[in-house]
């Protein structure tokens, strides 16, 4: 009698494990791993949420002017660095204001030259 009971338990355990394996197979086969893919994608893409930026802004220590684009601490706003200096050029517009623009080409200062031409109405 005990032997039959042990055999029944083993048969039940075997059936449960086979069923579990089968469900895992079909889950992966038919898109059950979307959560895993979303998690992997989530590590590559940051959601459009300003909370992270706001947190960094609140934690920044600056006694003068905190640049909004780079969170650099400078004495006056037009001293803020460009966020991407490899591809941007800082152009001072006068009266203490400056902008960062995409580099205009192969020559240094080309973006500044084009902005000046545009300000004069020549471009």
Tens digits of per-residue pLDDT, 86-111?
A: 989 888 888 888 889 888 777 778 88
Other CB atoms within 10 A of residue 80 CB: 20
Find tokens 């684009």 and name the residue: 69
The pTM (predicted TM-score) of the whole model is 0.53
pLDDT at 53: 87
Burial of 81 (0-12, 13-18, 19+ CB in 10 A): middle
**Residue 77 pLDDT more than 60?**
yes
Specify whether the CB–CB gap between 68 and 54 falls below 8 A. no
Q: How far apart are CA 119 and CA 97, in angstroms?
A: 15
């Amino acid at each position: 009698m005990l032997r039959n009971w042990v055999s029944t338990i083993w048969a039940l355990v075997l059936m449960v494990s086979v069923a579990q394996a089968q469900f895992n197979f079909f889950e992966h086969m038919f898109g059950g791993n979307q959560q895993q893919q979303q998690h992997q994608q989530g590590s590559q893409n940051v959601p459009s949420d300003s909370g992270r930026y706001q947190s960094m802004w609140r934690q920044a220590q600056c006694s003068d002017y905190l640049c909004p684009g780079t969170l650099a601490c400078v004495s006056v706003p037009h001293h803020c660095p460009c966020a991407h200096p490899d591809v941007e050029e800082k152009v001072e517009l006068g009266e203490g204001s400056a902008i960062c623009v995409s580099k205009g080409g192969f020559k240094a200062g080309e973006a500044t030259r084009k902005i000046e031409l545009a300000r004069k109405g020549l471009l």
